[in-house]
Chain A
Amino acid sequence: MTVSPSAAAEQKKFRIDTVEHAAATPGTELPWAELGLKEDEFNRVVEILGRRPTAAELAMYSVMWSEHCSYKSSKVHLKQFGEKVTDKMKEHLLVGIGENAGVVDIGEGWAVTFKVESHNHPSFVEPYQGAATGVGGIVRDIISMGARPVAVMDPLRFGAIDHPDTARLVHGIVSGIGGYGNSLGLPNIGGELVFDSVYQGNPLVNALAVGVLRHEDIRLANASGAGNKVVLFGARTGGDGIGGASVLASESFDATKPSKRPAVQVGDPFAEKVLIECCLELFKSSVVEGIQDLGAAGISCATSELASNGDGGMHVELTNVLLRDPTLTPGEILMSESQERMMAVVTPENADAFEAIMAKWNVEYSWLGEVTDTGRLIIDWAGETIVDVDPRTVAHEGPVYQRPMARPAAQDSIEANSFNAERPFGSAAVKDAILELMASPNMCDKSWVTNQYDRYVQGNTALAMPDDAGVIRVDETTGLGVAISTDANGRYSYLNPYEGAKLALAESYRNVSTAGATPLAVTDCLNFGSPEDPGVMWQFAESVRGLADGCRELGVPVTGGNVSLYNQTGGVAIHPTPVVGVLGVFDDVARRTPSGWRQDGQAIYLMGTTQDELDGSEYANLRGHLGGKPPKVDLQAEKLLGELLVNASRDGMIDAAHDVSEGGLAAALSEMALRFGVGARIGLGEVCERDGVDLFTLLFSESQARAVVAVARSEEVRFKDMCSARGFAHARIGVVDTEIGALDFQSNFVLPLDELKAAHEGTLPRHFG
């Protein structure tokens, strides 16, 4: 397999389509349609170049202008994230949207970078490797910012739990994430697990990574300084994942075209681990000027982005690329998505130092060429020019579409179809409903999944699943740390995409503040159906507008993320699923608030008020109903609740806190009791009266801006005064009782924790073994 570059060139198994040849043969038929380009896009390439593209240029344009890489359908909407940002919001932002990942100042000279991305399509085709390389890809984004990756999270969505294909995907994807992340030695501190038949042919595998760096360590992806050398290092380039971005992730699955599924990539986490350490040493020794990871679109993306972000030019010799498969054509080399590769720009003076570090870590590298100030990206193959383009036209000036959008006609009837099935009435019926809810696929215990992930490796995990947010200590001496949560509710977004996006943001924000951290920044992974469907495009536009408005109202900026379109099979789109990750900061993670109570006699308070909001709820979902309006979102109330929770944590008033969201108060109380196996006596009569709702509605409604907290007896007065002073509704609803081993809903029913635990923990093992 090891073939020297020159030998590969000499083989010349294929006729090379040079720029000169292209200019002389304008009439040549090119497979632009097979590569995913539309006719007008191809014509634009011809117009830009003033001639037909070479095979290699066509390969580059087709992958870089794909939906996945160019954001051609989403760009016009995503602008809002920049436009709706105030200077105040940017206060903590060191690097914003547009780089590999955003960087946020968390104080004491430390910064954090985080980002969530999708790997949906590859994970459906090959679940294990698809999910594994999803983790690998997002981790490389973090490294390329100059940061040390410290944790990952994985929001996952599958089809119906009892569908025959679901087990294949769950087993493959969960073990792929665990296999890669655990091998890298990164704790997996949370995520989501949702089952819904809309994701049957299109599971969502989103991967978030977070990294830590000192302010002075920030690295950007640009190639500056004419004469500086361009180097490719890490794994060799093979034929894996060719066209993954252009074809696989940019078109709907269609059973009639199985041949459109190119080979997927196989990851090697141990190679990535070496790459992490090697890159960190490169940063520490300041031997690289700019760096870029290779993900979707491989070398096409890295060369054109580095060049257009820097001095504008680059000249490389493609036969210098180290290959795993010597038969690859230049076009394939440019498109290959082989994993565990990085590209860097190094000054000639630092070349020796660079090579020494590569030798130390036993990482293969090859010098490809140099940065120029010509404004052209020139790629040669054995001395003959096969690519001569303005890199900006490849990387940044791709097509931009104002896709038609239309509110679906069915939206009115969806909104009118409120949940009005018969509600459980009476103690026994409500108790059974709680047990049914807590055993349901979306509300059941997730440890079957999270136990396959290493959650505490590196020893800096302060909280992980099943707590509200994952918490990681950044500085071991001061305890400075961050909390991250990811949330989305596809059903809410289906009912109202604008409100749904705000609700996802609100929940994520609430989770972070429930853990005790002050929310600072947002990353998002927007999973939608086909942008060529005006209804889906409307959902997308509404979601982006909702998220941008919500971020502005909460004062937290979007720092980066990813858009995944074409998530549909056979013409049916998934629910709009805008996954929102919120990052918050802790001065000291030692004061984190866990999600379960432990201390006998502590008072249990419900913060916030409850309305009759069962549309789109987990309970309605259990009854197979989806219609009506999602719960009302009040971001001012969320902000206030967040401040109260953080203050209560800082001042040591609360020992446990859990947000009330999916599954309502019933789920919140059950999860708090099961967290440490400690029961409580609960009295809800007064709250029912105050809010004007019955017991069932109080327990199952999904009204927003609520949380349950456990307050030490000695702190009760202070806690109540704080809530009253800020005008935030709060009510004492019970007392922690370490003796009874049950949730005793006084004057109604007693729910033994054993019974609850058996129902809650039995579901995933029963389906997946």
Chain B
Amino acid sequence: MPRIVVDVMPKPEILDPQGKAIAGALPRLGLTGFSAVRQGKRFELTVDGDVTPEVLEQARTAAATVLSNPVIEDVTRVEVIPEA
């Protein structure tokens, strides 16, 4: 069954304490090649049947209203992944 992937990231100007904590942990493990980390989240919405434009629109609405907090987060991707 096809899935719609939604990626959500904290807005660039917003502090990301989790990303900051990871950025602090990496060098302690000897992984020194990174200057910053931002942590977002990924949702997978499974669709029964075809991904019609209506379904995709619903996914966009869900992404903007439920899956993200528009005050502090941006939806960076809403994309269909075809059946494996």
**Chain A residues close to B by CB (< 8 Å):** 1-2, 125-126, 129, 235, 238-240, 261, 263-268, 270-271, 324-325, 338-339
The 5 closest A-B CB pairs, nearest first, are A239-B13, A1-B36, A268-B17, A266-B15, A126-B71
User: Which one of B12, B20, B35, B69 contacts A126 once the chains associate, using CB atoms below 8 Å?
Assistant: B69
Chain A min CB distance to B71 (Å):
4
Q: In the docked arrangement, what's the CA distance between A112 and B73, Å?
A: 40
Chain B min CB distance to A261 (Å):
8
Are A270 and B71 CB-contacts (below 8 A) given A1-B35, A1-B36? no
User: Which one of B13, B21, B72 contacts A129 once the chains associate, using CB atoms below 8 Å?
Assistant: B72
Tell me how many residues of B have a C-beta within 8 Å of chain A: 15
Q: Could you tell me if A125 and B71 are in contact, using CB atoms closer than 8 angstroms?
A: yes
Of the A-B pairs whose beta carbons lie under 8 Å apart in the complex, a sample of 8, sorted by A's number, is A2-B35, A2-B36, A126-B69, A239-B12, A239-B13, A240-B14, A325-B13, A338-B15
Q: In the docked arrangement, what's the CA distance between A514 and B69, Å?
A: 44
Q: Could you tell me if A240 and B15 are in contact, using CB atoms closer than 8 angstroms?
A: yes
Residues of B within 8 A of A240 (CB): 13-15
19 more CB-based (< 8 A) A-B contacts, given A2-B35, A266-B17, A325-B12: A2-B36, A125-B71, A129-B71, A129-B72, A235-B15, A238-B14, A263-B13, A263-B14, A263-B71, A266-B72, A267-B15, A267-B17, A268-B15, A268-B17, A268-B20, A270-B17, A271-B20, A324-B15, A339-B15
Q: Could you tell me if A266 and B69 are in contact, using CB atoms closer than 8 angstroms?
A: no
Residues of A within 8 A of B36 (CB): 1-2
Q: Report B1-44 CB contacts with A as 1/0, cut-off 8 Å.
A: 00000000011111111001100000000000001100000000
**Chain B residues close to A by CB (< 8 Å):** 10-17, 20-21, 35-36, 69, 71-72
Chain A min CB distance to B60 (Å):
20
Residues of B within 8 A of A265 (CB): 15
Q: Could you tell me if B17 and A271 are in contact, using CB atoms closer than 8 angstroms?
A: yes
Chain B min CB distance to A115 (Å):
24
Q: In the docked arrangement, what's the CA distance between A257 and B11, Å?
A: 21
Chain A min CB distance to B24 (Å):
8
Q: In the docked arrangement, what's the CA distance between A325 and B11, Å?
A: 11
Q: Could you tell me if B13 and A264 are in contact, using CB atoms closer than 8 angstroms?
A: no
Chain B min CB distance to A341 (Å):
11
| CB-CB nearest in chain B for A324 | B15
Residues of B within 8 A of A271 (CB): 17, 20
Residue among A1, A238, A267, A325 with the highest chain B CB neighbour number at 10 A: A1
Residues of B within 8 A of A238 (CB): 13-15
Q: In the docked arrangement, what's the CA distance between A266 and B71, Å?
A: 11
Residues of B within 8 A of A266 (CB): 10, 14-17, 72
Q: In the docked arrangement, what's the CA distance between A240 and B14, Å?
A: 6
Q: Could you tell me if A263 and B72 are in contact, using CB atoms closer than 8 angstroms?
A: yes
Q: Could you tell me if A264 and B72 are in contact, using CB atoms closer than 8 angstroms?
A: yes
Q: In the docked arrangement, what's the CA distance between A755 and B39, Å?
A: 49
Chain A min CB distance to B40 (Å):
14
Q: Could you tell me if A263 and B15 are in contact, using CB atoms closer than 8 angstroms?
A: no
Residues of B within 8 A of A338 (CB): 15
Chain A min CB distance to B73 (Å):
10
Q: In the docked arrangement, what's the CA distance between A267 and B17, Å?
A: 8
| CB-CB nearest in chain A for B35 | A2
Q: In the docked arrangement, what's the CA distance between A2 and B71, Å?
A: 24
Chain A min CB distance to B30 (Å):
18
Q: In the docked arrangement, what's the CA distance between A286 and B71, Å?
A: 41
Residues of A within 8 A of B15 (CB): 235, 238, 240, 265-268, 324, 338-339
Chain A min CB distance to B25 (Å):
12
Q: Could you tell me if B11 and A263 are in contact, using CB atoms closer than 8 angstroms?
A: yes
Chain A min CB distance to B46 (Å):
27
Residues of B within 8 A of A129 (CB): 71-72
